[in-house]
Structure 1
């Protein structure tokens, strides 16, 4: 039995479930944003039971042979059947609300931590790990230690500092330090992007204080590279984002760029492999820039790994490689 932690509208998860099913394998898919599976119990023998509310089947997750840590997978929806306040008297409830204490959330987080760590430790085949967001600044430090060039940047807190970066960094962009806002529903999506800091914004912000924000020097790109890493291999794609003003800063804003298969130099792949090893990740997507001087500049790693955008244009058939890994522990048949 293969376990996938994900969300409802993740197209890649659906593709893998369909492929594994066609290959004759049993798959349990737990979505963070639905209530199909409900927590049932944990035993001292390490058993972790969830119930499928549609089939009424009790599933011992500790018996799975492989786990794909695609998305967060488990949320409070899986632990509550109704209002959280049941079995709490009114005086206790008033105290909790006044002090803004969410006792249930703390208990949920402890249960989730135990379930994730237990499954990751005992499951024979893990693709990814229970880590769904990387600290961008820490990853840049790891990249530097592995001798990959990274952009010049500063984290600043006010307009005076921002104006100073105009001298130290030149033309600059800003982006989230974390993974940013990523919200999806059936009908719409909302993301935060990398944005160019316009000239007039520097002057308008001089007397403004703001939350610590990342400012990065703008790199003159020849092209962008998205590479998907799995089982020691890289599958890379060149994105010609500079051919369109809409995508020159962030290629995600528009999807009509020319994309082609790309082979990174051996030494760049080796440095990237060392970064994944240091982060204890066996899969994920890395973004790089090839600048006008022919240098490769590392930007970030997404541990979830948006691989479909690389697989489809380049005909890499990564769905099959992922399915193979979940079955055999390697990407080959």
Structure 2
């Protein structure tokens, strides 16, 4: 049996399920918005077993963890203040333990663990190690060092890991994503401050979104540079006038480096952002372990969801 773990609102999962139904394959889908009864996680000297929603994992041939996390705490226990916070920590430890165990016993594609522990700086280091170009980057708490960096480069700033979402009694502050940081912004800063990440702005011909699934790459060029709204970051979507998106084939040497990078960071799937520069270089930006893929599939007629279904079925047959 194939197990899918995902959000009930995820279009990609629904499309993959359509293909599994077409192929008449046995599967179970656990929705991450719903309470998933943990019947048992049994450990003994003779046996280890996991049963969730009456599904004994001994019958599972492969897992596709597309989005989100399983929920083993009943809904009525989620609004009890510090008690709920404690239960959440215990639940999180349980979920991580089960995932780590399953990865050793079945083919497991995708990862809640990798999603919550996806560190931009670590990924840049690993990308450099496999020979990919990366942006010149500075993380600093010093106004002097930041000023020196800005004097040398037109620079952008982005979050180190988490998007800004701060709520107070008076206001709500959210991140505006990637933005240009100017020398005049320094006037707003003290001599020292919390760590800030800045990168040299890269002049681009276009951006590339690569969806990766088990050593297969599906690439799409995004012509975002001619729109002021998307020029710095295509994710500042212009919904009235969307960027032109077309299929793209990465050079073999870049493709091999991307595959090597994904192996280094132990990811079997993910969405990768790359810039093709005006100086004809490919520059790695980041990877999202549970990134979107349906728009890559639709814009480029890749039928990625069909290929995912076929890969899951193939793994299931191999397991059996």
Assess, with a 3 A threshold, how the Cα gap between structure 1 residues 62 and 202 changes in structure 2: closer, same or farther.
farther
Give, in angstroms, the shift of residue 265 of structure 1: 0.9
Give, in angstroms, the shift of residue 114 of structure 1: 1.9
Equivalent residue for 2:60, pick from 52, 61, 64: 64
Q: Secondary structure at the match of 1:132?
A: helix
Once the two structures are superposed, what CA deviation does each residue of 1:187-234 show, in whole Å capped at 9, x if it has no partner?
xxx8752122245323322x2644312111100111111111223222
Q: Give ranges in structure 2 of 5+ residues lacking alignment.
A: 166-173
C-alpha contact (below 8 Å) 2:61/2:315 kept by paired residues = no
Name the structure 2 match of 1:54. none
Equivalent residue for 1:291, pick from 277, 286, 292: 277
C-alpha contact (below 8 Å) 1:30/1:73 kept by paired residues = no
Name the structure 2 match of 1:34. 34
> With structure 2 as the length reference, what TM-score do the two structures score?
0.85
2:151 counterpart of 1:167 = yes
C-alpha contact (below 8 Å) 2:147/2:183 kept by paired residues = no
2:310 counterpart of 1:324 = yes
Once the two structures are superposed, what CA deviation does each residue of 1:111-137 show, in whole Å capped at 9, x if it has no partner?
1122111222111x3223442142111
Equivalent residue for 1:214, pick from 186, 194, 197: 197
Q: How many residues align?
A: 300
CA distance in 2, matches of 1:281, 1:85: 34
Give, in angstroms, the shift of residue 60 of structure 1: 1.6
Which has the higher mean CA deviation after the structures are superposed, 155-164 or 226-235? 155-164
CA distance in 2, matches of 1:150, 1:159: 24
C-alpha contact (below 8 Å) 1:126/1:326 kept by paired residues = no
Could you say which structure has the greater relative contact order, defined with CA pairs below 8 angstroms and 6 or more residues apart? 2
Root mean square deviation of aligned Cα: 2.6
Assess, with a 3 A threshold, how the Cα gap between structure 1 residues 157 and 32 changes in structure 2: closer, same or farther.
farther
Q: Give ranges in structure 1 of 5+ residues lacking alignment.
A: 52-57, 87-95, 183-189
Equivalent residue for 2:52, pick from 14, 26, 50: 50
CA distance in 1, matches of 2:131, 2:294: 29
Give, in angstroms, the shift of residue 177 of structure 1: 1.8
How do 1:232-247 residues align onto structure 2 when only pairs under 5 Å count?
232-247=215-230
> With structure 1 as the length reference, what TM-score do the two structures score?
0.82
CA distance in 1, matches of 2:145, 2:309: 49
2:187 counterpart of 1:203 = yes
Give, in angstroms, the shift of residue 158 of structure 1: 4.7
Name the structure 1 match of 2:126. 142
CA distance in 2, matches of 1:294, 1:250: 19
How do 1:216-231 residues align onto structure 2 when only pairs under 5 Å count?
216-231=199-214
Name the structure 2 match of 1:279. 265
Name the structure 1 match of 2:109. 127
Give, in angstroms, the shift of residue 85 of structure 1: 10
2:66 counterpart of 1:83 = no
Name the structure 1 match of 2:10. 10
CA distance in 2, matches of 1:240, 1:101: 46
2:292 counterpart of 1:306 = yes
